[in-house]
């Protein structure tokens, strides 16, 4: 049986930590869908379509291809997407106890709702403190985020700040 996993998130913007999780998920599962979800609890920096584009470019430039597809989901529960495409597993990166506290209720709810399991991957220590919110803050204040995000994101943010 083909294993299909979903790597969901806001990805606003995609970071090197996200890329690491996606790459590792793509080695564990036959097929991976990266799903950009609008999280109403967070005020967004980038439109969802741009986030999808930046993930696609970043994956291509990192040579992560073949079994990874990027899409978005905005019409309901994430588990509905999983059921629609036949995915049984969600993959999330866990950097710290804060992430465990944030992710645990979601994992339990997703399992209760539709029997979708969540697999947590520990970070590459190099990316353990990288978050999209940190990147947004540094970028919005004019700082250099190139150590935290893929080159495609750095280029995009540089172009945006030049305009």
Nearest residue (CB) to ligand PNS, 10 versus 58 = 10
Alpha-carbon gap, residue 134 to 26, rounded angstroms:
26
Residue 18 designated active-site? yes
DSSP for 128-154, written as a single string: TT--HHHHHHHHHTT---TTTS-HHHH
Among 8, 93, 123, 150, binds ligand PNS (CB under 6 A): 8
Stretch that binds ligand PNS, among 24-32, 35-43, 116-124, 140-148 (CB under 6 A): 35-43
Maximum C-alpha span of the chain: 49
Interface residue with ligand PNS among 15, 57, 58, 110 (CB under 6 A) is 110
How far apart are CB 113 and ligand PNS at their closest, in Å? 8
Buried b (16+ CB within 10 A) or exposed e, 66-94: eebebebbeeeebbebbeeeebbbbbbbb
Using the rule CB under 6 A, is 13 a contact of ligand PNS? Answer: no
Question: Does 38 participate in catalysis according to the annotation?
Answer: no
**6 membership: H or E segment, kind and range:** strand 4-9
Catalytic residue among 10, 131, 132, 139: 132
* List 3, 28, 30, 39, residue binding ligand PNS (CB under 6 A): 39
Options 37, 45, 68, 152; binder of ligand PNS; rule CB under 6 A: 37
| H-state helical runs in 29-87 | 48-61, 78-85
* Contacts with ligand PNS, residue ranges (CB under 6 A): 8-10, 37, 39, 42, 77-78, 106, 109-110
Q: Active-site residue numbers?
A: 18, 42, 95, 132
């Amino acid at each position: 049986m083909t294993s299909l996993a979903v790597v969901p998130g806001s990805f606003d913007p995609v970071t090197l930590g996200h890329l690491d999780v996606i790459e590792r998920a793509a080695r564990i599962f036959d097929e991976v869908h990266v799903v950009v979800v609008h999280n109403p609890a967070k005020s967004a920096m980038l439109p969802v379509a741009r986030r999808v584009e930046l993930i696609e470019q970043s994956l291509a430039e990192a040579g992560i291809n073949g079994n990874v597809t990027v899409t978005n989901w905005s019409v309901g529960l994430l588990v509905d997407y999983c059921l629609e495409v036949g995915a049984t597993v969600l993959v999330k990166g866990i950097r710290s106890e804060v992430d465990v506290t944030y992710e645990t209720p979601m994992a339990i709810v997703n399992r209760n709702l539709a029997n979708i399991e969540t697999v947590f991957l520990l970070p590459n220590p190099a990316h353990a403190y990288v978050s999209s919110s940190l990147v947004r803050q540094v970028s919005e204040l004019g700082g250099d985020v190139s150590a935290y995000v893929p080159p495609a994101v750095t280029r995009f943010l540089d172009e945006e700040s030049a305009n």
